[in-house]
Amino acid sequence: MESFMMDGKFLDNDIEKIVDADRAHVWHHLTQHKPFETGEPRIILEGKDMRVWDQKGKEYVDAVSGGVWTVNVGYGRERIANAVRDQLVKLPYFAGSAGSIPGALFSEKLISKMPGLTRVYYTNSGSEANEKAFKMVRQIAHKRYGGKKHKILYRDRDYHGTTIATLSAGGQDERSAQYGPYVPGFVRVPHCLEYRAQWDLSGEEYGIAAANAIEEVILAEGPDTVGALCLEPITAGGGVIVPPEGYWPRVQEICEKYDILLHIDEVVCGVGRTGTWFGYQHYGVKPDFVTMAKGVASGYAAIACCVTSERVFELFKDDASDPLNYFRDISTFGGCTAGPAAALENMAIIEEENLLDNCNAMGAYMLDQLHALKDKHAVIGDVRGKGLFLGAELVADRSSKEPVDEKQAQAVVGDCGAQGVIIGVTNRSIPGFNNTLCYSPALIATKDDIDQIIEATDKALTKVFG
């Protein structure tokens, strides 16, 4: 690791000042700060490829792409940074009521990967992208259905963001705890995790039953009141849940039957994570909205998108008879040009380096290695995932499927960290079921990288569970 620099003058022995400033003033995400009264917060100074270094010089293999499945093409990509720099000098920002060169070019490139969709609405975070779709659904309800067809269905264990509205559509009760009251008009449907089966079925029969459960909710609420169904293609923070065969085709049928808009949240799965450009493309479905963020620019600049079909877009194109009929929304930093400039280079890297192919090959290899760990460690009850988006659910007993205590799962993560490997875990999200180890290494991962991740997990499981 090179010395950390600031204005060309920053020295290693100044790190203590940075730690003191961080501890005194920074409010970290998802963090209890009480331990920092006696200990140091972790500060990541530098990254290269799949490795990062902290303030103590410790090197880590990052198996979660920036902590929250974001840095899809790895660290140190100078061509992305240079593209951002050049664009910022030329034009850093103009409000999204006007266009920009990178905004136009990236929208064209993105849509070329999404047959059937035509329009890109720029915003600055996944939460906000989902809010835009929710607002579109509500406005359509008022424009076409007298406000009645406004309800939005969401799935147990899915997660759609941190705002009050997206928490209202969140299926992770510990994420939303203490932030109510919530926005009315959001209705939960059952999850589709076959390992935690809600019906005595398996395979495609289970997938169809899980989809039919959505129809039951629609009928109970009244189809004329339901405007949209919002789902992750593969549930992420709720335990890396790959829907069973039969699930998605049946979901599509149900949405078409009741004229319900299908909103797929690709904030985690999008832009290569599962081995296709978007997770929904594994299943042949035709969404009306697709939202995305994290991997769109691999974290090199803030960008998120709410992508829609022309059908949705046309609903907001009216003559001037009603001055309120257009989509009256703005995202201030959706007008930043760094995001689409970075996203163009990010997508070019994925194409030029054949990272979708690598994702599929290395994902299959890693899945095999996780299954080998399952054969060795009885505490692993289930292994699942697609591409380089994988999970291993930990159980105290395989026959009863009793989850391990959350502290034990956290201990595995902690031990991996001590070994120099950063992995993830479902974290204070689902009461009693924060027991799934999560892996999302960058799409550049090699067998050596994966072997190091698996070896660390193996040693940690042995240490924590014997």
pLDDT tens sequence across 103-129:
999 999 999 999 999 999 999 999 999
Based on the fold, state whether residues 415 and 326 are members of the same structural domain: no
Number of domains in the chain: 2
- Do 85 and 49 lie in one domain? The reply is no
The reply to whether 185 and 271 lie within a common domain is yes
Which range marks the domain in which residue 134 is found? 79-352
Is 362 contained in some domain?
Answer: yes
Whether 226 maps to a domain, the answer reads yes
pTM for this entry = 0.95
Together in a domain, 144 and 258:
yes
What CATH number is associated with residue 409? 3.90.1150.10
Residue 219 in any domain: the answer is: yes
Q: In this structure, are 348 and 367 located in the same domain?
A: no
Note whether residue 186 is domain-resident: yes
Do 268 and 406 fall within a single domain? no
Whether 31 and 134 share a structural domain: no
Q: Are residues 128 and 205 in the same domain?
A: yes
pLDDT over 70 (residue 10): no
Asked which of 352, 382, 415 is the last residue of a domain, the reply is: 352
- Whether residue 288 is contained in a domain is answered as yes
* Whether residues 360 and 391 fall in one domain: yes
Q: Identify whether 211 is part of a domain.
A: yes
For 55-107, write each residue's pLDDT tens digit.
999 999 999 999 999 999 999 999 999 999 999 999 999 999 999 999 999 99
Would you say residue 166 lies in a domain? yes
Q: Are residues 204 and 339 in the same domain?
A: yes
Q: Is residue 304 part of a domain?
A: yes
Whether residue 310 sits in one domain with residue 196 = yes
The least confident of 145-154, 250-259, 310-319 is: 310-319
Exposed/middle/buried for residue 33 (C-beta within 10 Å: 0-12, 13-18, 19+): exposed
Tens of pLDDT, residue by residue over 358-392, are 999 999 999 999 999 999 999 999 999 999 999 99
Q: The CATH number of the domain where 244 resides is what?
A: 3.40.640.10
Do 199 and 314 lie in a common domain? yes
